[in-house]
Structure 1
């Protein structure tokens, strides 16, 4: 297949990254919803140091890039991504059980649930809510992921950040300006990259932590659908729930192409049979319009649209 790399400095990229650089890679294989067109190029990074070097190189070459972790909470266009996708597999986890408070340090590509389970094995509490949250630490910090009353705002102590003009920095939690499912990085579009982070924990017992995690896991299985999805599609509006509004609007179970509003939880859109990103976008628009007409509430996306979209779809991205 002919490479899509028409506008990127392909030769320079090959010189920098060698055979690690993959071309014309289908992103559906790397997203939680199993949708998304091709990336012009893809590079796997296996450590925070590799991530730092790759990002620095791409900034120097003025090449657009997208960091993809677990592929949750992102809807990648069917047209794919014009640039380099960095697949973040930097996943080292270090538990510091003797510090006060006890902490866990992890690279930004570490699976959030794995971090929670590693802490639980040592009888360290505080991340039980994260056990079944999909995605990586970096994505969770970026979007202030949360569940069951916990979130990253409550656990993050500090993070190591790579800034395009200011270099490597350590940001304390206050610097992130956390709001509901949002951070200053997400709101401002700042191009800084999260390399690693330290989270605070509490001492408990392995059994107590395990029981709490099992309780949350059972509740999630009862209320959230299995299968390929993006996670929660919309943020909950103040004083209400997006899922309740969608269900009250009569949209539970609705289909567009291969994607369906889940019959289990209406704020989850499930890829039931070879859905496309366009199917998702159309269903998003129908749900938003119907809920707004019935209740006067404009639902705000929790997921982010990335990649190469047509003009009318790009407008949707601007409403994040």
Structure 2
């Protein structure tokens, strides 16, 4: 592939392919080495076109969404990285609501939709169950893969089905919620090694109707809570899963590790289960800080903290 300018033809138009693109520009941690090739895909057609192009050139494919809950290695990712995300202004014609009996509706949303937008959009329609997603980073596809959750809710609670692309056969397949095998911050898809065979394209939820004003008030309350209790800036969300019966942030704080810093990354003073990139952090810094916290917490409490953030790419 010797062309200086590489593009992919999609039904939506021409998709520029960037070479040696720093992945730090596409993760909320602002960490990550270069991708050999990178393309942004805002629609299902874009995703299909990008994957077909990679197959034609025999390139491995890594699909990422909003870039939260993700640590990319300092040497980056080989092959093609497809960044599947779209601004909310492009989603109106891809957001479908169908009544399902008197008390529920089926809501279908594309994988590239921002997860926070989904919480706002469903509550504005008087549909309950996803208010907790308002204010969260990331996109719907990634949130489903990780079975993301907060405030007592998680993506699997109201999930009915999802449409996947089989990257080996290029067939579209339907999975039920049971086939995803969701558990705490884990699914069959997340457990699969990268490059993954399956790519999420669309998700359907079954949501109960609720009081629109109450739902929107709840959304506003949760958004305010996050602004007060969780750090802003370059971070990846919760670093560790919560052990049974306790909280990772509490254990880290009780171990006296708030504010601990290695290289350019430090434990947040506001919430100890968040790491902050102070501006110069590397993936190696983050891994070293994870290992140190695990060691101290295990020595102090006898509990092994398990990372929630997914670690991909080369060191």
Tell me, yes or no, whether TM beats 0.5: yes
- Counterpart in the other structure of 1:279: 285
Q: Does 1:150 align with 2:142?
A: no
For this pair of structures, how many residues does the alignment match?
Answer: 301
Residues 289 and 203 of structure 1, relative CA distance in 2, 3 Å threshold? same
- Counterpart in the other structure of 1:124: 127
SS in 1 for 2:95: strand
Show structure 1 runs of 5+ residues with no match. Answer: 1-8, 310-320
- Counterpart in the other structure of 2:178: 174
Cα separation, 1, equivalents of 2:218 and 2:175: 30
Q: Does 1:28 align with 2:16?
A: no
Show structure 2 runs of 5+ residues with no match. Answer: none
Match of 1:64 among 56, 60, 63: 60
1:255–1:283 contact (8 Å) kept in structure 2 = yes
Residues 171 and 257 of structure 1, relative CA distance in 2, 3 Å threshold? same
Cα separation, 1, equivalents of 2:279 and 2:7: 40
2:19–2:37 contact (8 Å) kept in structure 1 = yes
- Counterpart in the other structure of 2:37: 41
Q: Does 1:141 align with 2:147?
A: no
1:133–1:147 contact (8 Å) kept in structure 2 = no
SS in 2 for 1:102: strand
Cα deviation code 1:168-226 (max 9, x no counterpart): 10111111000100001111335211011112222123211111112222332332112
- Counterpart in the other structure of 2:242: 236
1:52–1:195 contact (8 Å) kept in structure 2 = no
Given the two structures, how large is their TM-score scaled by the length of structure 2? 0.89
2:15–2:39 contact (8 Å) kept in structure 1 = no
2:119–2:219 contact (8 Å) kept in structure 1 = no
Q: Which has the higher helix share?
A: 1
1:143–1:182 contact (8 Å) kept in structure 2 = yes
Cα separation, 2, equivalents of 1:221 and 1:304: 24
Question: How far did 1:273 drift?
Answer: 2.8
Cα deviation code 1:233-260 (max 9, x no counterpart): 0111112211111111111111112211
1:24–1:39 contact (8 Å) kept in structure 2 = yes
Question: How far did 1:164 drift?
Answer: 3.1
Question: How far did 1:60 drift?
Answer: 5.0
